């Protein structure tokens, strides 16, 4: 699919997200969300437990429907994309990945090419070239023949990112890609995502609880609080005192000078 050049790769207007199951009234998780996201950015979604970060990612990915409002990709309503078109537009990396860890690294990363292969799943030279590039970008070439169950959490996270890279979509969504990782590996993953966003001009959105790291490493952040959802550069968000609205202020305070939270 040819993507025409657009400033706004993702825009959401008046978006409400949540859950409805027919008869009962819908559970609104967050409302009045307005986003306009340009290409080639690394964007963190931040907010306390249960605020709706995963719900927002799943709604953007089309896994669940918005309760209200619209989502556009490249200025076209998300609903106007067929499932196959959507699979070449965005990839999603979920924490509880439902893939067999019995696969080798190479096999799992190759799954990223599924939207493009024929019904037999045979890979073309072009598919193989893209898979190799994804393995290299995530420094997995040397362990490509290892089984996924043999990997550390950090390596496994890189495998999921490589699969999304192999899917070669302009938008990549990741749900908490740094959970279970130590500080070094958290920072490594975020730096890798930033390099990919900038070098390959991809739009990468990820949810995280690593606010300090996100402030240092992302281009923009989406902050979800019970009252509002705001999107801006870390610098502007600090100026606007937004980080102090994330947690009860009598307990945790954000220090503008250091860009860190302190416990009272
Ligand atoms: N299938 C569901 N049906 C109804 N409510 C749900 C469902 N899944 C999640 N929720 C509720 O939606 C709200 C947002 O959940 P979500 O998982 O999006 O939060 P989150 O910000 O990703 O949280 P965390 O940081 O803890 O992962 C929570 O109150 C949760 O209980």
Answer whether 29 contacts ligand 1 (Cβ < 6 A): yes
Spatial strand order in the sheet of 68-73: 27-38, 8-19, 68-73, 76-77
**pTM above the 0.80 mark?**
yes
Q: Choose one of 168, 201, 231: the last residue of a domain.
A: 168
Tell me what pLDDT residue 1 has: 47
Number of domains in the chain: 2
Are residues 217 and 151 part of one domain?
A: no
Mutational test site, ligand 1, from 17, 22, 24, 29, max ligand atoms within 8 Å of CB: 29
Tell me what pLDDT residue 214 has: 95
Q: What's the per-residue H, E or C state across 73-130? A: ECCEEHHHCCHHHHHCCEEEECCCCCCCCCCEHHHHHHHHHHHHCCCCCCCCHHHHHH
Q: Choose one of 168, 198, 213: the last residue of a domain.
A: 168
Are residues 150 and 35 part of one domain?
A: no
Are residues 204 and 84 part of one domain?
A: yes
Are residues 193 and 76 part of one domain?
A: yes
Q: Residue 159 belongs to what domain range?
A: 97-168
Q: Which residues contact 164 (CB under 8 A, 6 or more apart)?
A: 91, 92, 93, 112, 172, 174
Are residues 174 and 147 part of one domain?
A: no
Are residues 229 and 164 part of one domain?
A: no
The CATH number covering residue 78 comes to 3.40.50.300
Are residues 221 and 160 part of one domain?
A: no
Q: Choose one of 130, 150, 168: the last residue of a domain.
A: 168
- Give the atom of ligand 1 at the shortest distance from the alpha carbon of 56: 18
Tell me what pLDDT residue 6 has: 52
Are residues 173 and 151 part of one domain?
A: no
Are residues 64 and 111 part of one domain?
A: no
Query: In order along the chain (264 residues), what is the average pLDDT of each group of 10 residues?
Result: 66 96 86 96 96 96 95 95 92 76 92 81 90 93 95 90 92 92 90 94 96 94 95 94 85 84 83
Tell me what pLDDT residue 42 has: 97
Are residues 185 and 78 part of one domain?
A: yes
- Give the atom of ligand 1 at the shortest distance from the alpha carbon of 176: 27
Q: Which residues pair with 35 in a beta bridge?
A: 12
Answer whether 49 contacts ligand 1 (Cβ < 6 A): yes
Are residues 83 and 37 part of one domain?
A: yes
Please name which of 203, 192, 183, 115 lies closest in space to residue 160, comparing C-alpha atoms: 192
Tell me what pLDDT residue 97 has: 62
Are residues 58 and 141 part of one domain?
A: no
Q: Which protein residue has the closest C-alpha to ligand 1 atom 30?
A: 50
Contacts of 192-197 spanning 24+ positions with Cβ under 8 A: 192/137, 192/138, 192/158, 192/161, 193/42, 193/161, 194/42, 194/218, 194/219, 196/137, 196/161, 196/165, 196/172, 197/40, 197/41, 197/42
């Amino acid at each position: 699919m040819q993507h025409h050049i657009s400033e706004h790769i993702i825009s959401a207007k008046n978006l409400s997200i949540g859950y409805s199951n027919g008869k009962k009234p819908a559970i609104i998780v967050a409302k009045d969300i307005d986003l306009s996201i340009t290409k080639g950015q690394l964007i963190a979604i931040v907010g306390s437990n249960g605020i709706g970060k995963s719900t927002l990612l799943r709604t953007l990915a089309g896994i669940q429907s918005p309760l209200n409002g619209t989502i556009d990709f490249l200025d076209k309503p998300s609903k106007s994309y067929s499932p196959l078109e959507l699979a070449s537009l965005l990839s999603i990396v979920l924490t509880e990945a439902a893939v067999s860890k019995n696969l080798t690294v190479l096999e799992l990363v190759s799954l990223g090419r599924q939207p493009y292969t024929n019904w037999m799943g045979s890979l073309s030279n072009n598919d193989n070239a893209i898979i190799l590039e994804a393995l290299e970008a995530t420094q997995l070439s040397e362990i490509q023949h290892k089984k996924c169950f043999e990997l550390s959490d950090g390596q496994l996270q890189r495998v999921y990112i490589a699969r999304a890279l192999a899917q070669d979509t302009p938008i990549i969504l990741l749900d908490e890609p740094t959970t279970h990782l130590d500080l070094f590996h958290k920072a490594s993953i975020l730096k890798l995502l930033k390099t990919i966003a900038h070098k390959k001009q991809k739009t990468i959105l990820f949810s995280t609880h690593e606010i300090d790291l996100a402030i240092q490493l992302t281009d923009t952040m989406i902050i979800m609080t019970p009252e509002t959802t705001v999107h801006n550069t870390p610098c502007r968000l600090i100026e606007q005192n937004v980080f102090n609205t994330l947690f009860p202020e009598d307990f945790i305070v954000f220090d503008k000078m250091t860009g860190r939270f302190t416990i009272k």
